Amino acid sequence: MSGWIFGLEHLYHRLLSPRIPVIVVALRDDNVPNAMVAAWHMPVSSNPPILALSIAPDRLTHQLIEKRGEFTVNIPPPSFLEKIKIAGSISGRIHDKSKLFKFVQGASIKTPIIDESMGAIECRLHRILEVGDHSIILGDVLAARAKNFKEVWLSSPLMHLGGTKYVKFEDL
């Protein structure tokens, strides 16, 4: 088994990278949007449309989604690289990350979307499943929109390599 590296169980999730990072937005009690960067997400049903996020229960965003029952998933453009690094490394408990983005009202829920996003998905909480040290947050997709998209991305979104490493797709 020439060339194989063994013992990567603790990094198995990085074997599934790169992935498109998303900015998950949920409203705080004062109706100010909180933004969290997440790379663990996927579609789980087309009919009805349901999206899954994997978020640790101690994260503020997890608690806000559980309390408010809704959230948005925003696909950042490559120009957001520095904003993503900030939003992905600081807790909303100690820093107001709403100042990083321009928010606009979505079509179907109170939680806003990020105006400069390449795409945005509005979700109502469907269910939360506890799995290991994370929860699977399932959201019913109520609305979705995108810029520069025609069944596939016509321009490249930002890619998450793992940890704090990001790259523009064309740089891969």
Q: What is the 3-state secondary structure (H, E, C) of 18-48?
A: CECCEEEEEECCCCCEEEEEECCEEEEEECC
Residues whose CB falls within 8 Å of the CB of residue 162, separated by 6 or more in sequence, listed in order: 11, 13, 14, 17, 18
pTM of the predicted model, to two decimals?
0.93
3-state SS assignment for residue 49: strand
* Type of residue at 58: D
Candidates 3.40.50.970, 3.40.50.80, 2.30.110.10, 3.90.660.20; CATH matching 17-171: 2.30.110.10
Please, are residues 104 and 112 in contact by the beta-carbon 8 Å criterion? yes
Please, are residues 88 and 37 in contact by the beta-carbon 8 Å criterion? yes
Measure CA of the first residue to CA of the last residue in the chain; give whole Å. Answer: 27
Name the residue ranges covered by the structural domains of the chain: 17-171
Q: What is the pLDDT of residues 46-84, one digit of tens each?
A: 999 999 999 999 999 999 999 999 999 999 999 999 999
Q: What is the pLDDT of residues 93-112, one digit of tens each?
A: 888 889 999 999 999 999 99
